[in-house]
Amino acid sequence: MMKKFILLVLASASLLAASRAEILKQYQDKSYKEVCIEGSKILRSYREDETLINAVAFSCLQVHIVDLLPNPIVLLKKTAEARQNAAFYATILFQKKMLYYALVDGIDISGVRVPQVDYVLSRVFDLYVRGKFTQEGETFLLDDGTYNYRMQVVETARHKKIELKQFRGNQLIQQYYYW
């Protein structure tokens, strides 16, 4: 019985090691969605591996799955660089949550001030809290000088989402959804 238990533990450890290697390979290949989703599942097993944790968090940002950032935020604490990255991720998550509350629940967030970071949601958040937008019905129009954005709340069968469309001139560059 003890031999079977030891073999099970060793097999599990080798699967985790393979998962880590596979996730880092996917990260190098820029398969960000897979890294974000699959990497988030194994983070607790690699609490001290800041390389893996940052790869997962950065991947989540690349595919705009901001809701998977809390675990990396909590785990990144060992070094000054890790804490700086955690603050960066936390800022974006906070901005997303505040923007969602403002648009969905009508809460005034004009007095909220946080650092602007180099991320599309952060730029839109900053424009919104500073009142640098016009409104056409339920759609907010924002412009940062390089891009213009159309932001509105859309309702799905499960919940409300922020739909953010990023344009350069009249050309749609990217469309994002946050909830």
Residue 10 to residue 6: CA distance in whole angstroms: 6
Mean pLDDT of 104-120: 93
84-99 pLDDT per residue, tens: 999 999 999 999 999 9
Listed by start position, the domains of the chain span 1-78, 109-179
Prediction pTM value? 0.84
Longest CA–CA separation in the chain, Å: 69
* Per-residue pLDDT, 44: 87
Q: Rounded mean pLDDT of the chain? A: 90
> Given a cut of 80, is residue 17 above it in pLDDT?
no
Report residue 2's pLDDT band, with 50, 70 and 90 as the boundaries. Answer: very low
